[in-house]
Amino acid sequence: MARQRRRSIDWAVYWLVRLVVCVVQALPVYAALAAADGIAWLMYYLVPSRRRIALANVAAAFPDWSTIRQRRLVLDTYRHFVRAVTENVLLARKLHVHNWRSYVDISQARCLPEVLLDRRAVLLVTGHFGNWEVGGYVPGLLGFHTYAIARTLDNPYLERLVRRLRQSSGQTLIAKKDEFDRLTAALTSGGKVATLADQDAGPRGVFVPFFGRPASTHKAVALMALEFDALILVVGVPRVPRMQGCFGRPDRAMESISYAVIIEEVIEPRHYAGHPDAVMQITQRYTAALERLIRRHPAQYFWVHRRWKHQPKAVTTRKIRQVA
């Protein structure tokens, strides 16, 4: 009975999401984004637990800011991410190979095509920043085959829908926990693999400074780079202003749907080969690069997640402060 009830709930949630997707794709873009702003406002005021987490994180990251400025940043963060989800629903129908240059700027990622054409494995490292889905969507439009490590959703019906939307441009998803052999095969064959590298890794992670505080960070990126000789590109895809409206609509209210692909750091793992602290140094280097991106666009970081949930022991903390 419990399994049947869970299946019914999953099925109902799936159809609700399908309905929302259909409505968003049917609306004019400006109307969809206006609705997104309203939903963001409701989420900010109706989910106080997440709001408190975000405010605490922002206050710790920017202690010199006034309380009013900190609260405004958190509200802007909600607005950014609800808009980003809305834009991702629109991508498959609105963004294509003939118009992507009007809405995505890759001038700060000039080496990206060369790296994607190279036979060497590449790790495209980013975080919950900007609109990382755009970063995976555009290479597929241009004919480059990339992979993305993603967590499998608990709802199997919703998982199939999200996977279809995310893979619509040619990107292949690799399950975070269940497809290690597939990930290994991709890197061994010189695949280009994107991953989010800013989640809390628990008490066993490597602790590196992030906004002045020790943050538990997964070792996997550094270990994969060293094992497979994979070049690391720290990538951010922030929303940037534009003068023309989105998808051909000349409306300044639509100027937010424009993104820049930025390669903030290139890390060569060969420089760390044989070094006893290679994993720590590589992890700290890409984490520092992510922090620089976030400081330039603080409203586009997902402050509501518990990035500093786990903290190290006192001895480890002293080492981190020395690194910082």
User: Which pLDDT does position 28 carry in this prediction?
Assistant: 86
Q: Which pLDDT score, from 0 to 100, does residue 195 have?
A: 92
Q: How many structural domains comprise the chain?
A: 1
Q: What is the pLDDT of residue 215?
A: 95
Pairing of strands 192-196, 122-126: parallel
CA distance 117 to 107: 17
pLDDT, tens digit (0-9, with 9 covering 90-100), for 255-314 = 446 899 999 999 999 999 888 899 999 999 999 999 999 999 999 999 999 999 998 876
Do you know the residue count of the chain?
324
Which structure tokens are listed for 62?
Answer: 């920017």
Q: Please write the tens of the pLDDT for every residue from 225-263.
A: 999 999 999 999 999 876 444 444 444 433 446 899 999
* DSSP letter, residue 27: S
Please tell me the predicted confidence (pLDDT) of residue 46. Answer: 93
Residue linked to tokens 């943050």: 215
Quick one: tokens of 199?
């989640």
Quick one: pLDDT at residue 189? 93
DSSP secondary structure string for all residues of 193-236: EEEE--S---TTSEEEEETTEEEEE-SHHHHHHHHHT-EEEEEE
Can you say whether the dihedral through the CA atoms of 204, 55, 151, 287 is positive or negative? Answer: negative
Range of the domain at 141: 2-323
3 state SS of 120: coil
pLDDT along the chain (324 residues), means of 10: 75 88 86 92 93 95 96 96 89 76 84 89 95 82 84 85 77 80 91 92 93 94 95 94 50 58 95 91 97 97 93 60 52
d(CA 48, CA 54): 10
Q: What is the pLDDT of residue 237?
A: 93
Q: What is the pLDDT of residue 6?
A: 80
